[in-house]
Structure 1
Amino acid sequence: MNPALQGLITIIVGVGGCIGYFYLSNQFLDKVLFPARGKHIGRNINRANMIRPWLFLFPAIFALALYLGYPVIETLRLSLTDRSLDGAFVGLDNYAQMASEPKFWEAMRNNMLWLIVVPAISTAFGLLSAQLTDRIAWGNVAKSFIFMPMAISFVGAAVIFKLIYDTRPANQDQIGVLNAVWLMFEGGPGSFLFLRLLPAAIVICFALLMAYVFYLALKPLIRRESARAGGSWWAVPLRLFAGFVAAWMIWLSAKSVFSVLSAEFAFGAPQTWLTLPFWNSFFLMVVLIWIQTGFAMVILSAALRGIPEETIEAAILDGANPFQIFFKIKVPQIMGTIVVVWTTITLVVLKVFDIVFAMTNGQWETQVLANYMYDKLFRANDWGVGSASAIVIMVLVLPILVWNVYNARKEMN
C-alpha cells in the first residue's frame, strides 16, 4: 500500500475512532446507563456527570497503563529474574552483579558529569541568547538560527559533530574542523593564550560559579532560615546534597586548572578527540548543549517578555545599570521558569543514548546508563542486569518528575 494512502487511512481511522468513542459513550451513558427520565431523573443526571470525566479520561489512562505502567512492572519483574536460569527468581542478584561491574560505575560517573554540565550550560546559554536577541532588531532571525538544531535528530547532530571531530593522517588534509584549527597551533603566544590561559580561565570561572552555588545552598542552613520559613522536610537534605556536589566540583576545578596549565600538547599532529579519556565526554556534551540551547532560549525569552515594563522602568529611574537590571530584577522574576527549563533538560540528559551510541558507543570511558542498559539487553542478552539498569534510570528520573509536578501544582494554586 502506498505510504501516503496508509497515513491518510490511519488519520481517518484514528480521528474517526476518537469521535465515535466519545459520541457513542455519551449516548450509552445518557440513554442506556443513566437515562435522564423517570422518577430518578435527578439522581441519574448527577451520576452521569460524575462518570463522564472518567469516561473521557479512560483512553488516556488505558494508554498510559499499557505503554508506561505495564512496562515498568514488567521491567521490575525481569530485574529480579535470570534468563540463563529460565527466568528463575534471583532477588537482588542482578543489582549486585551490576554494582560489581566497573562499566556501571563509569556510566554513573559520566551521567553525573553530564547532569552537572549540560543543564547548567544549556540554560545559561539559552538565557544569554534570549536576553541578547531581544535587544537587537534582527533578534527573531537570530532566534531562528539558534533554535534550528532542535529540528535535527540526536543521531543527525552526532553525525555532524563526528565530522567536526574527524581525524585524518598527518600527511592528509584534515576535514575535521577541530583538527584543522588544532594544527594551526605550534607553540608560541597563540598556543599559550588559547590552549592554556583561556581554558584555565574558563575552569576558574566555573569554580567561582560552583562556589556561589555552594553559598546559596548552605546560606539558609547556616543562618537557620529554613525552619523559620516553614520549608519542606526535604529542603535540608537537598541543600546539603547540592552543597556537597558544588564542593566536589570546586575541588575538581582546582585540580583541572593545574592540569591545564601544565599539560603537554602534541603540536603538529592531528588528535583523535573522541578517544581522549575525560575530555571526550565534554566533546559529546557539546552536541546536546548545541541542541538544547535553542529550547532554553525560546522558553526563557517568553518569560523575559512577561516581566512587567514598570519594574524595569522603576529600576532604571533608581539608577540601576544593565547588569543589575538583568541579575537582580529579571532573573529573580523568572527563576521559576529557569528551574523548569533546567529540570526538563536534566530529564533529557538522564536518558541520553543516541549521541553516545552514534559517536563512541560507550568506548574510551564515555559509557552512560542508557547505553549500558542497551549493551546488556541487546548485546549481552542479559535481561536481568539490563532491566536493573533501566530501574536505576527510572529511580533517578522519578524525583525530578515529582519536583516538576509539585511546582506545577504550587503555581496553579
Structure 2
Amino acid sequence: MASQIVSAILTVLVGVFGCVAYFWGANRLLDLAYPAHGVSGMRAVDNLRRQGLIRPWLFVGPALILLGVYLVYPVVETLRLSLFDRGGTNFVGLANYEWAFGDREFRNSIFNNFLWLLVVPAACTFLGLIIAVLTDRIWWGTIAKSLIFMPLAISFVGASVIWKFIYEYRGGGQTQIGILNAIVQSLGLEPQVWISLPFWNNFFLMAILIWIQTGFAMVILSAALRGIPEETIEAAVIDGANPFQIFWKIMVPQIWGTIAVVWTTITILVLKVFDIVLTMTNGQWNTQVLANLMFDWMFRGGGDFGRGAAIAVVIMLAVVPIMIWNIRQATREADGGH
C-alpha cells in the first residue's frame, strides 16, 4: 500500500514538473531562435511575428499529438477491425455487423441500453432539479448539496461494491446483512436475490448510476437557477402565482437549455455504461449492455476483434450525434442563447 502511494505521488510530481519544464524550455528555445531583444528594425518585428505564430502550437501541439495517438488512431483502427475476422487478418466486409443485428444477446443489450436511456437521464435530471430548488430554500441546503454530490467522487466500481452490500442476499435462514433484504425481512416479507430478478434487476443497477449522477445534475441546475433574475420571480409572486406555477412556468422555461445539456450529458454516459454492469452482474440474468458485450467479445474467450470492434462502432455511432448536439447546445448557452 505504501509503495503504491509513493508511486502515485511520484507520478503526479513527474507529470506536473515535466509539463512545467516542457513549456518553460520550449518558450526559452523559441526566444533564442527568434530573439525580439537585442535586434533592431524589421528583424525584431519579423521575430515577434514568428513567435506569435509558433507559440500557440507549443501549447496545443502536445494535446493534438495525444488526441491523435489515443483518440483518432483507435477510432480508425476500430473501424478497420470491424471489417475483419476475429484475428484482424482476413477481410470479411459487413459480416460482423450482420452477425450483431442477428444475435439475440446483442438485441437484448440494445433493449437494456434503451431502458437505461429512458430511465437514468430522466431520473437524474428530474431529481437534480427538484433537489436544487428545495435546497435553495433551506438554511442547511449547502450541507445537503455536499452530501448528495459526494457519490460523484466515488468510482463506478467503488459505488457498485457499496450497492452490492445493499442488495446482498443470504440464504439458508442466515441473518440478512444487505440493507434492502433486512428491511424486507423486518416487514415480514421474503428476502430476494435482487440482482437476479428478471427485468427488474436492470432497474436495481440503474439506481446506482442515478445515485451517482444526481449530484452532477443538481450542481449544474442549481447554478442555472441562480442565474434567473429575481425580478422575474418577484413579478410572478405579485401576480399571484403559487410556488408550483413559479417552478413550472417561470423557472423551468428559463433554464431549459441547461436541462437539455445535463440530460444529453448523462445520456452519453449511459450509452457507455460498463463498470456497474461488469461489477454487479457481469451481464448475467439479462442485464447485458453494449459496452460490456463489447468487452466480452474483444477480450474474453480468446477474443474476437472483429465482432468486438463492430459493437464498439455501434456504440460510437449512437454517442456521436448526441455529443455533437450537446456541444452545440452548450455553445449556444455560453453565447447567451443566440
TM superposition score normalised by structure 2: 0.90
* Structure with the larger RCO, 1 or 2 (CA within 8 Å, 6+ apart): 1
Equivalent of residue 224 in structure 2, options 303, 312, 319: 303
The yes-or-no answer on 1:67 pairing with 2:76 is: no
Compared CA separation, residues 70 and 34, structure 1 to 2 (3 A): farther
Question: Residue 282 of structure 2: SS of its match in structure 1?
Answer: coil
Question: Residue 88 of structure 1: SS of its match in structure 2?
Answer: coil
Compared CA separation, residues 23 and 161, structure 1 to 2 (3 A): closer
Q: Which runs of 5+ in 1 are unaligned?
A: 187-267
Partner of 2:238: 317
Count matched residues: 331
Q: Is the 8 A contact 1:29 1:35 kept in 2?
A: no
Equivalent of residue 103 in structure 1, options 102, 105, 119: 105
Alignment of 1:4-403 (within 5 A): 4-32=5-33, 37=39, 39-84=42-87, 87-169=89-171, 171-183=173-185, 268-380=189-301, 381-403=303-325
CA deviation digits over 1:100-130, x for unaligned, max 9?
2111111111101101100000111111111
Using the alignment, how far apart are the partners of 1:340 and 1:33 within structure 2? 45
Q: Is the 8 A contact 1:275 1:364 kept in 2?
A: yes
Q: Is the 8 A contact 2:86 2:305 kept in 1?
A: yes
By how many angstroms is 1:162 displaced? 2.1
Question: Residue 173 of structure 1: SS of its match in structure 2?
Answer: coil
By how many angstroms is 1:87 displaced? 1.4
Question: Residue 173 of structure 2: SS of its match in structure 1?
Answer: coil
Which stretch of structure 1 is more off in the superposition, 49-58 or 310-319? 49-58
Using the alignment, how far apart are the partners of 1:5 and 1:272 within structure 2? 41
CA deviation digits over 1:310-369, x for unaligned, max 9?
111111111111011111111111112111111111121111111111111111111001
Q: Is the 8 A contact 1:34 1:47 kept in 2?
A: no
By how many angstroms is 1:177 displaced? 2.8
Using the alignment, how far apart are the partners of 2:115 and 2:11 within structure 1? 43
Question: Residue 82 of structure 1: SS of its match in structure 2?
Answer: coil
Using the alignment, how far apart are the partners of 1:368 and 1:310 within structure 2? 47
Task: List, as ranges, runs of 4+ consecutive aligned residues in structure 1 with deviation greater than 6 Å.
Answer: none
CA deviation digits over 1:172-220, x for unaligned, max 9?
332233333334566xxxxxxxxxxxxxxxxxxxxxxxxxxxxxxxxxx
Using the alignment, how far apart are the partners of 1:180 and 1:5 within structure 2? 41
Question: Residue 364 of structure 1: SS of its match in structure 2?
Answer: coil
By how many angstroms is 1:50 displaced? 2.3
Compared CA separation, residues 34 and 82, structure 1 to 2 (3 A): farther
Q: Which runs of 5+ in 2 are unaligned?
A: none
* CA RMSD between the two structures: 2.2
Q: Is the 8 A contact 1:94 1:388 kept in 2?
A: yes
